Amino acid sequence: MNDELKALVDDIGRRSFDARVGRHGLPERFDSDLWQVLETSGLTRLTTEQGADPADAAIVLGGLAQYAAAVPVAETDVLATWLAGQADLSVPADGPLTVAIADVDPGGDRVTGTARDVPWPDAGPVVLAARSADATFVAVLAPGSSTSTHNLAGEPRGDVPFDLSSTDVVRLSPGVADELVRRGAWARCVQIVGTFDAAARLTAAHIGERVQFGRPLATFQAVQHSMANLLGEVETSRAATNLATFAAIDHGFDSPEADYAVTAAKVAVGRAVAPVTTIAHQLHGAIGVTLEHQLWLATMRARSWADEFGSTGWHATRLGRMALAADDPWHVIVGPVVGPAPRN
């Protein structure tokens, strides 16, 4: 593990968090100060311009998620810049970008539709992936959305309508959209594990400090068992996500290995969100559900992110179909990953 990078991200994240104490709200505002720091440190386009591998990207994304950083680094680097590069479309070399995914039914000479729940739609140019049965249409749109809302964690989300001439889009294979979703699912897994670490850290601190019945909560066996359950969910999620990261490093995001491991990770991580959230809030008591407390910055990000780039149930169905289609389902768990990445 790259300890230096980890320490750098931790330091930047902590400072930005401290600078924003009391200023987190609904919706969150883009943190331009933090973005400047990250950009100066070369962390906003780590994989696309610095040649870093997904393990390094995971350190950055997970570290920033721990501190509820209000910056679309995953969207900019792992998704939008990559997608634009696939289409040979130019996007600004600095500043934030985001990505929009929509299903279209191309008729005539126009590509028309609406991308729902686009993350940070006003922060920068929007790289669109409009997918049909046999193609991915890519275009770069101006920032902005027709609706302005936010997820449970306050992060901006909006609908982005588009009506493009077929000469204004780049036509790529449908596999590009599949890989985009896979990259997004992987990034969300890494980020959710970051929020899990924050929730675990806050909970461990709280039960160590909070005194009831004359002693710290952490001395009660019932509380210790809940804490052990929480940590179990966190470490299971980390193990599954770690496998997905190395699938991407060794075989690329477009490989059957990455398809398999990211799908499994999204299921494991997604199913851990409810228990982690429930236990962390339970052990905090009522203070943890207030806007002034920082716990929701972690738990509600996890809750929201788990539904993006394919819900947990959607990924579970895919993973189940992989096992059901196998000659022996045991081989799906231990054997080499076989076959092309199935279409979604």
Partner 1 sequence: MSEFAALRADDAELAGLRSAVRGFLAADRETFGWTPAVDCWLSSWDTAFSTRLAEAGFIGLTIPGEYGGRAPADGTGYLHRYVVTEELLAHGAPVGAHWIADRQVAPGLLAYGTEEQRRRLLPRIAAGQLYSAIGMSEHGAGSDLAAVQSRATRTDDGWLLNGTKVWTSGAHLAHQIVVLARTSPLDPEHRHAGFSQFVVPTDLPGITISPIVLMNGEHHFNEVQFDDVRLTDGDVLGEIGAGWHQVTSELGFERSGPERILSTATMLFEVVEALGRGDVDDRTAAAVGDLVGRMIALRQMSVSVARALTGRGERSDGGWLGGDANTRAAMVKDLGTRFEQDSVELAADLIDGVDGPEGARLRAMLTVARVHSPLFTLRGGTNEVLRGIVARGARAT
| CA angle 174–177–179, rounded 5-degree value | 110
Least Å distance, CB 215 to partner 1, is 15
Q: Does 274 bind partner 1 (CB under 8 A)?
A: no
- Of 27, 39, 41, 55, the residue at the interface with partner 1 (CB under 8 A) is 55
Task: Determine, following the binding rule CB under 8 A, whether residue 89 of this chain makes contact with partner 1.
Answer: no
Return the residues of window 217-256 that contact partner 1 according to CB under 8 A. Answer: 218, 221, 224-225, 227-229, 231-232, 234-240, 242-243, 246-247, 249-251
Per-residue binding letters, 192-221, with partner 1 (x by CB under 8 A): -----x--xx--x-------------x--x
Q: Is the dihedral of CA 260, 262, 266, 269 positive or negative?
A: positive
User: What is 78-133 written as a DSSP string?
Assistant: IIIIHHHHHTT----SSS--EEEEEE---BTTEEEEEEEEEESTTSS-EEEEEE-S
Beta strands in the chain (DSSP E): 98-103, 110-119, 126-131, 136-141, 149-150, 156-165, 170-172, 211-212, 215-216
Query: Of 68, 126, 180, 264, which one interacts with partner 1 (CB under 8 A)?
Result: 264
Based on the shown chain and the rule CB under 8 A, indicate whether residue 335 belongs to the binding site for partner 1.
Answer: yes
> Which positions ≥6 away from 263 have C-beta within 8 Å?
185, 315, 318, 319, 322
Pick between residue 41 and residue 236 the one whose CB is nearest to partner 1: 236
Q: Report the amino acid identity of residue 49.
A: E
Residue 196's closest CA among 236, 163, 164, 160?
236
CA distance 265 to 202: 24
Provide, rounded to whole angstroms, the least separation between the CB of residue 58 and partner 1: 9
Closest distance to partner 1 from the beta carbon of 54 (Å): 11
Q: Judged by CB under 8 A, which of 307, 317, 342, 344 binds partner 1?
A: 317
In the complex, the smallest distance separating the C-beta of residue 316 from partner 1, rounded to whole angstroms, is 4
**Which CB sits closer to partner 1, 92 or 335?**
335
**Residue pointed to by tokens 């060794």:** 250
Residues engaged in binding partner 1 (CB under 8 A): 1, 55, 197, 200-201, 204, 218, 221, 224-225, 227-229, 231-232, 234-240, 242-243, 246-247, 249-251, 257, 261, 263-265, 267-268, 271, 313, 315-330, 332-336
